[in-house]
Amino acid sequence: MIFAIESIADCWDEVMVNAEAHWHETEQFQNGEDLNPDKSRYVQYEEAGIYIQFTARDEGRLVGNCGMYVMPSMHTQQIIATEDTWFLLPEYRKGRNAIKFYNFVEDKRKEMDVVDINMTAKPANNASRVMEYLGYTMTAYQYSKHIGTDYVRSLAASGS
C-alpha cells in the first residue's frame, strides 16, 4: 500500500465511495439519515489549512482514507488533530495494514507539531483494539441523541 496526503478536491469521488461504505457500516444505523457531505466545505477547510485528507492506495485504488482537522485547541492553544473519518476497506483490515496506516497518519501529524490526536471507534468494528494497541487511551464516553427536526419545530412552536 502507498500512503499519502492528497487534495480532497482531487480524490473526492473516490473518498465518497468509501464514505458510503463507512456510513452503512458505522453511522446510518443511528437514525437512518442519508450521507450528505458538502464538498465545498471540505475544500474550504482544506484551503484554510485545517483539514487534511490522508489516503491509502493499493495499485492506484483508494482502499483507505482518513480525514483530520488540525488546529490549535481552543482551551490550550496546543495543536491538536481530530478525526473526521478513518476508514479502511474490510478486505484490507488484515495483517498490519491498519497499523501501518495509523502510523503514517501519526507521523505526518507529528511533523505538523500536533501534541494530541483525538480518534473515535464505533461499536460496529474493532478499531478500538487497534488504537489501544497503538497506545491510544479512552478519554471519554461519547453519546448521541437524535432529536430530529420535529423536536426542534415543537420547541419553536411552544416558544421554548
CATH number, domain of 129, equals 3.40.630.30
- For residues 150 and 94, the model is more confident at 94
Assess contact for 52 and 68: CB atoms under 8 A. Answer: yes
pLDDT above 90: percentage of residues in the chain: 56
Strands of 51-58's sheet in order across: 2-6, 51-58, 61-72, 79-88, 116-118
Nearest CA to 51 among 36, 37, 34? Answer: 37
What's the average model confidence in pLDDT over 17-30?
79
pLDDT of residue 114: 92
Tell me which residue range forms the domain holding 49: 2-158
pLDDT of residue 60: 96
For residues 132 and 65, what is the distance between their CA atoms, to the nearest angstrom?
Answer: 20
**What's the pTM value of the predicted model, to 2 decimals?**
0.84
For residues 26 and 16, what is the distance between their CA atoms, to the nearest angstrom?
Answer: 15
In tens, the pLDDT along 68-120 reads 999 999 999 999 999 999 999 999 988 899 999 999 999 998 888 899 988 88
- Which H or E run includes 89? none
- The grid coordinates listed for 102 are 495509523
> What is the average pLDDT score of the chain?
87
For residue 41, what pLDDT band results from cuts at 50, 70 and 90?
very high
Count how many residues are written for the chain: 160
What's the average model confidence in pLDDT over 36-62?
96
Residue 143 pLDDT exceeds 60: yes
- For residues 130 and 14, the model is more confident at 14
For residues 70 and 79, what is the distance between their CA atoms, to the nearest angstrom?
Answer: 7
pLDDT of residue 40: 96
Q: How many domains does the chain have?
A: 1
- For residues 153 and 74, the model is more confident at 74
pLDDT of residue 25: 79
pLDDT of residue 64: 96
Q: Give, in order, the Cα–Cα distances in Å from 93 to each of 24, 108, 125.
A: 17, 21, 10
pLDDT of residue 147: 77
